Amino acid sequence: MMIVTVLLIQNPIKAQMYVSPNSYVFASNEVVFIGQDLALNAATSAFYLRENAQLLQGSTGDGANSGLGSLSVFQKGSTNNFQYNYWCSPVGGTIATAGNSPFGVTQLKDIDGLITFKEPSMLPMNNYNGTASPLAIAPFWINKLTIASQYSSWIQVGSNSSLNAGEGFTMKGTSGTNVFTINGVQNNPGSQQRYDFRGKPNDGTITIPVGFEQFTLTGNPYPSAIDLSAFLIEQTNCTGIAYFWEQDPTVNSHFIADYKGGYGTFAPGDLGSTGVYVPATFYSYDGSGNEGSEGGTGGEYERRFSPIGQGFLIDGDENGTVQMKNSYRVFVKETPVVASSSKIKSTAKAKSTTSFMTSMQAVSGFDYSTVSVAPTPQIRFNTLMNNQGVRQLALALIPEATDGVDRAMDALSSGDNDQSDVYFVIEGSEFIINAVNFDIDKKIAIGFRNNKPANYKITVKEMVNFTGANEVYLHDKVKDAYYDIKNDFHELDLPTGENNSQFEITFKNNGTLDVDEAAAENFVIFQNNPTKNVVISNPLLMDLDTFGLYDVAGKLIFVKKDLGVNASYEFSTSGLGDGIYIVKLAAKDKGVVGKKVIIKN
């Protein structure tokens, strides 16, 4: 519903929408479209967006909104007082003159009513812990990153009103809870602080400087969703890839050396798809901000549409600028999760009878009903590094892709300071997402880098919307050995250094059967879900040494030793969660057999 009260459009006023003093526009769960600019004439002129309401504007030039009044929109973070969210404000300062204006964290308000607010406390710079009730913000953690590649290049903003439109910023969340509720949503049920952004709404073309091979923190600068894919594909001075920060929520410390976090990676591919997203690998950090050991992974999110307030990194492909435009703005609702790591509601999902998006209101006029919601065909690889963190890689199978670097399809790794890593090798560089035109004879180079001896376990996590290959192998070109990583994982120990030429992914075994593959023919391994057991059939009564069960990343769940020569074995899986697991069965002097099983308890 949208309610407009005392909205005046007067001939002397050039703005397409003019809100007079002591008047307001109230929009709930609806889109408001203004063809040109908005004038919030006086400090008492207001525009309220509530319950997924959004404002779209259609001008093609620089922002021209004006007036001392404010637009107000609620957005929610996803972290406690020890972890960062990356933001980009949809509003600037309430400056009367036309155009976008700088933003400061003091414009964030504490919600205490449908349209009312309280001023939060701005803590001194030596107080690092924000609180939810009453809302207190720690400005010490407000930073920006403009054209930089080093940790030391982050610029502390604090409580200054110096963030230009389109400049992203970091901010840690709050501790505790805030029980105040509006429209059934609590201000902070814990690690989900909700803020009221108030100020002059950003609009029009916003220019963002970028540098060659340099990162810039930016984001969605409008009080509406944007089509992130459209921005990344069109703005050719960046690589066409976006990076999203995530932190391990179990680590509660302000010391950099205790941080565990990393960047998820989004490649749009083309406007006819939802793109490919690879979750973050969590790394620890030393006191200088360099990546150290691995530990854990981030979540998986839909990234085609960026909600209000979401911040992300882009990587420059040239020295110059990129531009955010009104033409990227689109009315897409969020699911009830956070703005800085959000998913998209049913407007971006498939109808029950089709595999395409539903139509949605967009400034560009693009027909989203032509966009397939079927996942981009892909093979996802999980590599467990030193039995700690998991690096996920995605091989995207796109007919238009080449074997070289394809902008907005192939995604570079976000850093190279980690102690160990695995990646696709394209033109000598390290990539997390590799887009290729699939061919059964294709060979995909894969590399490993570690600053001390390291252990890797690599497997195919899943084949998504793709049936073109029955097998996937890791080929060791030095040994000329092929290892089945579709049904098993392969473990390798590598010395210190960089290895970009020894290994490749193939879809054919061009050698002879190795010992492990021959041994596999002597066993039947399957999961009996009704009885909640893994069953091993050993018809040749081979002397078995060990049975090991691993998760899909290669972490050992349990092991049984000295099994003997029984015709069959059963091992309970009743205590395990649903998912894909890997069985490793070792016969004495007869190699090792691996097989994936699906457990549904």
Residue 314 has pLDDT above 50, yes or no: yes
Q: What is the value of pTM for the model shown?
A: 0.88
Question: What digits encode the pLDDT tens for the residues 116-133?
Answer: 999 999 999 999 999 999
Please report which helix (H) or strand (E) contains residue 516, including its range.
Answer: helix 515-520
**Residue 40 falls inside a structural domain:** no
**Residue 588 falls inside a structural domain:** yes
Q: Find the CATH number of the domain harbouring 544.
A: 2.60.40.3080
Say if CB 413 and CB 446 are below 8 A apart.
no
Residue 9 has pLDDT above 50, yes or no: no
**Residue 534 falls inside a structural domain:** yes
As given in the structure block, the two tokens for residue 248 are 């391990």
Return d(Cα 9, Cα 361) in angstroms, integer: 24
As given in the structure block, the two tokens for residue 39 are 């004038």
Mean pLDDT throughout 508-513?
Answer: 74
Q: Name which of 110-114, 319-323, 343-347, 369-373 the model is least confident about.
A: 343-347
Mean pLDDT throughout 62-79?
Answer: 96
Closest of 227, 266, 202 to residue 360, by C-alpha: 227
Instruction: Give the pLDDT band of residue 114 (cuts 50, 70, 90).
Output: very high
* List of residues 6+ apart from 46 with CB closer than 8 A: 19, 23, 24, 25, 40, 69, 70, 71, 72, 115
As a residue count, the chain comes to 601
Instruction: Give the pLDDT band of residue 353 (cuts 50, 70, 90).
Output: very low
Residue 569 has pLDDT above 80, yes or no: yes
**Residue 539 falls inside a structural domain:** yes
**Residue 355 falls inside a structural domain:** no
Residue 553 has pLDDT above 90, yes or no: no
**Residue 550 falls inside a structural domain:** yes
Helices then strands, each counted (H, E), the chain: 2, 49
Task: Give the CA distances from residue 137 to residues 185, 210, 232, 438, 502, in Å, rounded to whole numbers and listed in that order.
Answer: 20, 30, 32, 50, 51
List phi, psi (to 5°) of 326: -60, -25
Q: Name the one residue in this structure whose structure tokens are 């039995």.
A: 387
Say if CB 185 and CB 192 are below 8 A apart.
no
Identify the domain containing residue 525 by its residue range.
Answer: 516-599
Say if CB 262 and CB 246 are below 8 A apart.
yes
As given in the structure block, the two tokens for residue 556 are 């050992």
As given in the structure block, the two tokens for residue 174 are 């709050």
As given in the structure block, the two tokens for residue 354 are 């089709």
**Residue 529 falls inside a structural domain:** yes
Return d(Cα 545, Cα 589) in angstroms, integer: 9
Say if CB 446 and CB 423 are below 8 A apart.
yes
Q: What is the DSSP letter of 359?
A: P
- Supply the DSSP string of 425-450, one letter for each residue: EETTEEEEEEEE---TT--EEEEEEE
**Phi-psi map region of 184: left, alpha, beta (phi>0 left; psi -120 to 50 alpha):** left
**Residue 586 falls inside a structural domain:** yes
Question: What digits encode the pLDDT tens for the residues 165-199?
Answer: 999 999 999 999 999 999 899 999 999 999 999 99
Centroid of chain to Cα 146: 20
Taking residue 396's Cβ as centre, other Cβ atoms within 10 Å add up to 28
Say if CB 395 and CB 505 are below 8 A apart.
yes
Return d(Cα 8, Cα 436) in angstroms, integer: 56
Residue 291 has pLDDT above 60, yes or no: no
Number of domains in the chain: 1
Mean pLDDT throughout 427-432?
Answer: 96
Peptide bond just before 134 cis, omega within 30 deg: yes
Residue 414 has pLDDT above 70, yes or no: yes
Mean pLDDT throughout 331-352?
Answer: 50
Q: Name the one residue in this structure whose structure tokens are 């009453």.
A: 134
- Supply the DSSP string of 230-246, one letter for each residue: HHHHH-TTEEEEEEEEE
pLDDT at 545 (0 to 100): 85
